């Protein structure tokens, strides 16, 4: 056996005494350990152990070794290949470090070599969420709730020795889930455009997030790190956090209109006929717009944790054609829109959709267009997509706009085709109707790059 070989296996031997008496915890030697030894020679130690009861087996610097561990005392016998030497050690209070002495005998140049060793177990990392370690745990969250995770080795030695880190992306049944996003951009103070922020792509830093689950379900995240201690490197076990995500279920949406009491914030009690196209004071050509003739109402119901429905309407098309009374070409007109008119889809008026009942369970609409004297016929082709979303109630301790985002539930496509003609008596006569498709459940977010502000006059060509 060479001195080098001796040095490599030296830290193993000796053991036999274990330290300072029994302690309350039951420290396990199972897993991967790294560290260093010193004495007549010095070097690094990379060890891996398994345990069966109090019996220990494993390798130290690639050489097999067996021993015992009763939870407070570790004794490693001779390296099997060579049959000499021993080591003994004692655990640190948190079981992460094993320190002891080694004795190697029968070397060629030295009858006896002694020294000390310290090896550290870089075990499963912590995964912190809202101040708690959720590694290995199942944590309850809500769809639309901000999630920010921080990972870390379980002890300071391994934190200092961490070389790299690796997060998984949000997983569902072991595969990346489609039900998670990095954010949703519109806010009540900035909604000219809207987009979905992708999940963070950097999975190699201490923290991962923010991200949001967008549907109820069970999801997981994993985290591990690599380390290097005195040249001995390794990879930690993988820590897994499981999220059971609550959210709206049993979502349904009823569509009605006509003789319901919008003024009192009434809900639809069933699917029913929509309102009628009418001429209302102004004069305006309007879909509904008076008591007893509501254009369209949509009422959502669901079983859900604390939160509110969020409505967003996008204009899919809105064109007015107007025939001048004095003759001339028919004009094609569009509502005011930024950055350019006639571009659809565009957000309808505001985010979130503003015409809802106090409970937020029903959204109404009665779109109208003015009827100037200068025209004898005005037609409007209006189509919209009402998106139903749901936003959880933010936790009291969370502040800021990012605590929650809405999660999509589905949408309704509906449209109105309306015409007003000026008759010989100088009276506007309405015609046309509105219609709506059934609610379609969907997990797609409504996005837009255009905003139909409706703040002004028609823009005609």
Partner 1 sequence: MKAFRMAVCLGAALLLLAAAVAESVPPFSLTITTPHPEVKAGSGVRVDLTLTNNSDRVAEFQFTGSLCDYAAVEVRDSAGNLVPDTEVKSKSDCAHQEITGANGMYRLKPNESKRDTIAVSMFSDMSKPGEYSVQVMWKAPKEFDSVVVKSNTITVTVTP
Residues in touch with partner 1 (CB under 8 A): 187-192, 262-264, 286, 289-291, 294-295, 313, 315, 318, 320, 335-336, 338, 348-350, 353-355, 358, 364-370, 372, 382, 384, 451-458
> CB neighbours of 323 closer than 8 A, spacing ≥ 6?
330, 331, 375, 376, 377, 378
Based on CB atoms, which residue is closest to partner 1, 17 or 355? 355
Nearest distance in Å: CB 210, partner 1: 17
Sign of CA dihedral 333, 297, 443, 408: positive
Residues near 410 by Cβ (< 8 Å), separated by ≥ 6? 251, 253, 387, 388, 439, 440, 441, 442
| Nearest to partner 1 of 131, 188 (CB atom) | 188
**How far apart (Å, rounded) are the C-alpha atoms in residues 304 and 314?**
25
Between 199 and 371, CB nearer to partner 1: 371
Q: What is the closest distance, in whole angstroms, from the C-beta atom of residue 127 to partner 1 in the complex?
A: 31
Which one, 134 or 341, has the nearer CB to partner 1?
Answer: 341
Nearer to partner 1, 196 or 355 (CB): 355
* Distance set, CA 218 to CA 139, 140, 183 (Å): 10, 9, 19
Q: Among all chains, which residue has been given the structure tokens 């309102």?
A: 275
Longest dimension (CA), the chain: 124
Find the shortest distance in angstroms from Cβ 125 to partner 1.
34
Closer by beta carbon to partner 1, 37 or else 353: 353
**Considering beta carbons, is residue 135 or 294 the nearer one to partner 1?**
294
Q: How far is the CB of 200 from partner 1 (least distance, A)?
A: 22
CA 290 distance to own-chain centroid: 43
Measured CA to CA, the distance from residue 247 to residue 392 in angstroms comes to 8
DSSP type of residue 248 = -
CB of 296 to partner 1, least distance (A): 11
Can you read off the two tokens belonging to residue 196?
């979905």
CB 437 to partner 1: min, Å: 19
Q: Which residues sit opposite 280 in a β-bridge?
A: 284
SS3 423: coil
Question: Cβ 286 to partner 1, closest distance in Å?
Answer: 8
């Amino acid at each position: 056996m060479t001195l080098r070989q001796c040095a490599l296996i030296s830290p193993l031997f000796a053991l036999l005494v274990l330290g300072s008496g029994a302690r309350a915890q039951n420290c396990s030697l199972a897993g991967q350990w790294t560290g260093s030894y010193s004495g007549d020679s010095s070097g690094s130690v990379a060890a891996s152990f398994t345990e069966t009861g109090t019996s220990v087996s494993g390798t130290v610097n690639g050489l097999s070794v067996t021993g015992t561990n009763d939870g407070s005392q570790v004794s490693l016998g001779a390296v099997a290949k060579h049959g000499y030497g021993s080591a003994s050690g004692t655990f640190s209070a948190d079981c992460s470090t094993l320190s002891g002495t080694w004795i190697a005998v029968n070397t060629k140049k030295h009858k006896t070599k002694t020294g000390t060793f310290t090896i550290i177990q870089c075990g499963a990392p912590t995964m912190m969420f809202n101040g708690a370690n959720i590694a290995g745990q199942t944590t309850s969250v809500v769809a639309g709730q901000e999630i920010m995770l921080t990972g870390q080795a379980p002890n300071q030695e391994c934190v200092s020795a961490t070389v790299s880190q690796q997060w998984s992306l949000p997983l569902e049944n072991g595969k990346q889930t489609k039900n998670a996003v990095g954010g949703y951009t519109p806010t009540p103070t900035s909604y000219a455009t809207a987009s979905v922020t992708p999940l963070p792509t950097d999975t190699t830093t201490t923290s991962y997030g923010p991200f949001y689950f967008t549907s109820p379900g069970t999801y997981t995240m994993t985290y591990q790190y690599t380390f290097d201690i005195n040249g001995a490197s390794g990879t930690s076990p993988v820590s897994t956090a499981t999220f059971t995500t609550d959210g709206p279920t049993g979502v349904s949406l009823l569509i009605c209109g006509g003789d319901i009491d919008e003024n009192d914030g009434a809900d639809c009690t069933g699917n029913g006929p929509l309102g009628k196209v009418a001429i209302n004071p102004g004069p305006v050509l309007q879909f509904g717009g008076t008591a007893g003739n509501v254009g369209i109402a949509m009422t959502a119901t669901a079983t859900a944790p604390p939160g509110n429905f969020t409505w967003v309407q996008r204009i899919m098309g809105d064109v007015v054609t107007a025939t001048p009374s004095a003759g001339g070409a028919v004009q094609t007109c569009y509502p005011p829109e930024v950055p350019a008119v006639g571009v659809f889809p565009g957000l309808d008026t505001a985010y979130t959709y503003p015409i809802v009942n106090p409970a937020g369970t029903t959204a109404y609409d009665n779109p109208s267009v003015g009827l100037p004297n200068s025209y004898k016929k005005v037609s409007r082709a209006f189509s919209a997509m009402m998106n139903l979303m749901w936003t959880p109630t933010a936790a009291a301790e969370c502040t800021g706009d990012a605590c929650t985002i809405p999660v999509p539930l589905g949408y309704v496509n509906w449209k109105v085709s309306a015409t007003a003609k000026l008759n010989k008596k100088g009276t506007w006569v309405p015609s046309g109707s509105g219609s709506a498709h059934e609610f379609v459940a969907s997990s797609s977010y409504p996005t837009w790059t255009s905003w139909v502000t409706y703040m002004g006059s028609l823009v005609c060509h």
